[in-house]
Amino acid sequence: MRQSAQGSAETGTPQTWAAAVARVPQQPVAADVDRERLRPSRAGGAERGAVDADATRGEHTHSEPPAPTLGSARAGAPPSRPRPVQRSSVRGQILAALRKALVAGELAPGEVYSAPALGERFGVSATPVREAMQQLALEGAVEVVPNRGFRVIERGTRELAELAEVRALIEVPVVLRLARTVPVERWAELRPLAEATVRAASSGCRATYAESDRAFHRGLLSLSGNDQLVQIADDLHRRAQWPLVGTPVSRARTELLADAAEHAALLDALIARDLEVVRGLVGEHFTGAP
**Predicted confidence band of residue 22 (pLDDT cuts 50, 70, 90):** very low
Rounded to an integer, the average pLDDT of 165-184 is 93
253-259 — which CB contacts under 8 Å span 24+ positions? 253/201, 253/202, 253/204, 255/288, 255/290, 256/200, 256/201, 256/204, 256/206, 256/209, 256/290, 257/198, 257/201, 257/202, 258/288, 259/197, 259/201, 259/209, 259/213, 259/285, 259/288, 259/289, 259/290
- Three-state secondary-structure class, residue 2: strand
Which domains, and CATH codes, for the chain?
2-152 (1.10.10.10), 157-288 (1.20.120.530)
In this structure, the dihedral spanned by the alpha carbons of residues 21, 104, 214 and 131, taken in order and rounded to 10 degrees, is: -50
pLDDT of residue 246: 62
Say what the pLDDT of residue 192 is: 97
Q: Assess whether pLDDT exceeds 80 at residue 53.
A: no
pLDDT of residue 160: 87
Q: Among residues of the chain, what percentage have pLDDT more than 90?
A: 48
- How far is Cα 122 from Cα 230, in angstroms, rounded to an integer? 31
Spatial separation of the C-alpha atoms in residues 6 and 12, rounded to whole Å: 17
For the stretch 232-277, pLDDT in tens is: 999 999 999 888 776 655 567 888 999 999 999 999 999 999 999 9
Q: Is a pLDDT exceeding 90 seen at residue 113?
A: yes
CA dist 115 and 117 (Å) reads 5
Minimum mean pLDDT range among 109-113, 180-184, 219-223, 282-286: 282-286
Cβ atoms of 237 and 214 within 8 Å: the answer is yes
Work out the number of other CB atoms within 10 angstroms of the CB of residue 176: 14
Over residues 122-130, mean pLDDT: 92
Q: What is the mean pLDDT of residues 40-66?
A: 41
Q: Which three-class secondary structure state does DSSP give residue 91?
A: helix
At a CB cut-off of 8 Å and minimum separation 6, what does 32 contact? Answer: 87, 124, 125, 127, 128
- What pLDDT, on the 0 to 100 scale, is given for residue 88? 61
Q: How far apart are CA 68 and CA 147, in angstroms?
A: 26
Q: What is the pLDDT of residues 79-96, one digit of tens each?
A: 444 343 355 688 899 999
